[in-house]
Amino acid sequence: MQDASEPQANAANWQFPPHNRWGFRNVRRLLPTARVRRSRTPHSFERRGQDLDGLAVGGLAGEPLTLAGVLEATFTDGFLVLHDGRIVHERYFGGLTSDTTHIVMSVSKSVVSGLIGILVERNVLALDQVAGHYLPELRHDGYGAVTLRRLLDMRSAVRYSEDYNDPAAEFFDFDAACGLRPKPRPHPARGMCDYLATLPADPTDPADFCYRSTDTDVLGWVAQRATGMALETLLATELWEPLGSADDADLIVDPLGAPLADGGLCTTLRDLARFAQMNLDRGSFNGRQILPERWVAACAQGDRAAFRRNGYTGLFPKGAYSRQWWVADTDTGRRLALGIHGQMIYLDPDRDLACVKLSSAPDPIDGSTLVLAIRACEAIAATLR
């Protein structure tokens, strides 16, 4: 329950400070969700405890800053470090506990990517098939003509803006259609699927990388239609069960019950760490090959030119976006899953390092907090080499 002395979170304000710290770990109390069932045989991590709180991390202005200071400055709720497959550091803040779920926002996209990879490997889905083949409801001059390969790399060229600073951006209409906020203006869509079916192609878009959460929601819808199974069931069967997850996860659904593949997953820090370690280990975890190894390898590559042409190289000069992952360096395969308000998975294959961070930052996107978080991961990598 919420403390009556604190600002009260509700379905309209849960994404905004000061309500988001409580709201992000209590989504199931505020919004409709579907359950992603935990594994019947939970996996336990080995531990090799190491106190990293005092680790030196360079601040943005060159000031001395410790890892503990970075975690505080970046509104961290939970932080876990895996090295050589063992937990070496784990911290919780602001009421989050090891068995409390927390929304992971767009880190959900990278989880859905894994599911798509499994279905492609089984020939249930084809990367070069258009979404309209599976979903005839989609516009022929919109998402219906986009291949799954282009959806995975966010190169759909559909007319949709996700500019969080532009009140006129389609993002706000979509979020409202999904039941995540009040409607900013009238829109005929009754839910997520209705909204996706309205989006046309943008003839001025050259189909380079452009971040659109709606691309992921089409992928989630395709997966459901092709298998005849609910997305929460697919995630439980294909990922949460073989990963040995210890806790049920939640998946936000829209007012009509459609699951939000792009950012609706709520899970515990350790279960997200299981997913991270699997990707670090080329799709293998808990004694079995869960994701196809070649799929995981493709997630660490990508088209640098398509990434560069829309100006995304400021943080990642050798970067790309591939199969719902941010590739920081296509030479080394260092990559991230990122979500607004500070959610992150950081993978460094060369150091066998995975860092998982859950946060409640006040702003959806803040470049300085992301840079600080990445610097902390790099400092950890240098220490644990």
Element spanning 76, H or E: strand 76-83
Cβ–Cβ under 8 Å, residues 179 and 31: yes
Nearest to 192 by CA among 240, 234, 160: 160
Beta bridge partners of 36: 249
CA distance 385 to 383: 6
CA distance 232 to 299: 23
In terms of C-beta density within 10 A (0-12 exposed, 13-18 middle, 19 or more buried), how is residue 97 classed?
exposed
Is the Cα torsion angle 13, 17, 19, 24 positive or negative in sign?
positive
What one-character DSSP code corresponds to residue 179?
Answer: T
CA distance 247 to 236: 11
Beta bridge partners of 46: 86
User: How many CA atoms lie within 13 Å of 361's alpha carbon, on the beta-carbon side?
Assistant: 24
Cβ–Cβ under 8 Å, residues 71 and 64: no
359 is catalytic: no
What one-character DSSP code corresponds to residue 125?
Answer: S
Rg (CA), the chain: 20
For residue 206, the SS3 value is coil
Q: Which of 106, 110, 113, 156 is catalytic?
A: 106
Cβ–Cβ under 8 Å, residues 142 and 200: yes
Instruction: Give the active site residues.
Output: 106
